Structure 1
Amino acid sequence: MNRVMDEKVSALFYRAIEEIALDEKSGSYQSLKSIIGVATGLHNLKVAIISCHKENNIYSSNVLFRSLIEHYAKFLILMYRYSSENNNDVGKDNLIFARAHELKSYGNALKLYKDLVGKDSSMVRYKKAIEKLSDEAASKTSAELKDAFDQFGYRNVAKYFEANENYFFKNKLEVFAPMMLEYSELSTFVHAGPEANDSGADISDAYVNRQLENAFGLAAAVYSMTLLALSRKHPETFDIHRKIDEIVNSQT
């Protein structure tokens, strides 16, 4: 995909999303909210990657593209489980249990802060924040919350799809598989690895163009699948989903 096509599908997606009001009382509210949340996050990363390329800031675009791959992996598991289960379970895993794990991790950071500076932090206590999420989250063990969080990691996404074949997602996985290799290669930029600065001089125009095309392609796939998921409760989004697919397929 090129930038012109990307702008077209982005506009279609956002016009559709802006007209949707999710029903908080529905049995799939949390799942659909999670899907839309990750989709919009991925969109924002794509926009930031474009800005980095305009400024010839490839180091930052590599960091952002690695995060975009993570968003795509998480989106796939959200979408797959929602399409298979048609309920709120994966949404609860994301918005409640994975969030509770993040709060516990933040609590550990507070403890480290206290150890380092010799005084307690005045920030809100994480345990009370977990209790506010839900009684069920508060009753979970740390290991159970970590499992809910870890299922969205790219390695576990790959393992999940290896064990759960699905025709609809087969072509999505064919795109995702090589992204796993790139995700690993880009680790050096995220973690200030020794190869990060050394590789900067070797960046070619072909590399830059490929990264942009991949960002456009992953975003378009996410836009399309998000609207398909929404079409169960909001049938009007199906035609826009199909229109995005037509635009994407016209470029292949």
Structure 2
Amino acid sequence: MESGESTPTPQSTLLVVDDEPAVRRVLSMRLQLAGYRVVCAEDGEEALEKFLAEQPDLVVLDVMMPKLDGFSVCRRLRAESAVPIIFLSSLDAIAEKVAGLDLGADDYLSKPFSPKELEARISRILRRVGRGTASQDPREPVTGLGVIRLGDLVVDTNRRQVTRAGERIALTYTEFSLLELLFREPGRVVPRAEILEQLWGYPPRRTADLRVVDVYVARLRGKLEPDPRNPELILTVRGTGYASQRLGELSIPVGA
């Protein structure tokens, strides 16, 4: 195997949820050939049942489905799990993409799409969450950044945990990865395009792609900032991107 390639282990299980039999059949075949174990569901209710029974490592979830739509399924999954979720949808509007990501999805792929593109995104996400590593918990890779203290906020990058005054703040894997990226070099302005490539693995092809970054920053601020409308930890640098600052240690021109 070449260095840098991500080969799924037998433990990498994918749950594919789509009400179209042809889509389920094609994706199941392609993903199994790629080395994954694939479980399928044809509607939202079955998806929740299969999720509980199989405990998949990633969920590929259609938005428009009978009984229970994909957004409702995502909402229920996020109430109890940080499992990576990729939305599939024939709706390509920015509002729909933002709505899906705002619920906690990790990525959003518009139909029609190339199965190869889906495979690439699945591989990137699983590689990011550390699937297949034997030396450590797959969801808690050691980064070497250690513990960052920001007032009463404590960011433990080794355990991938954030606490405020001793109370744990629940972050999804992608939210924590964004936080870690911004605080890796406090004060450095990180362009939105760079954030997209670092966390999602692909360059922006249109404005809607960069909107994904804005959604995640807003979600992160909502969980970490005392006043998200007047952020102190994650700053907006207009026309460029975002930067982090350690309170009292940095001052740069910003616009929230």
For normalisation by structure 2, the TM-score amounts to: 0.28
Structure number with larger C-alpha Rg? 1
| Higher helix content, 1 or 2 | 1
Larger RCO: 1 or 2 (CA < 8 Å, sep 6+)? 1
| Higher strand content, 1 or 2 | 2
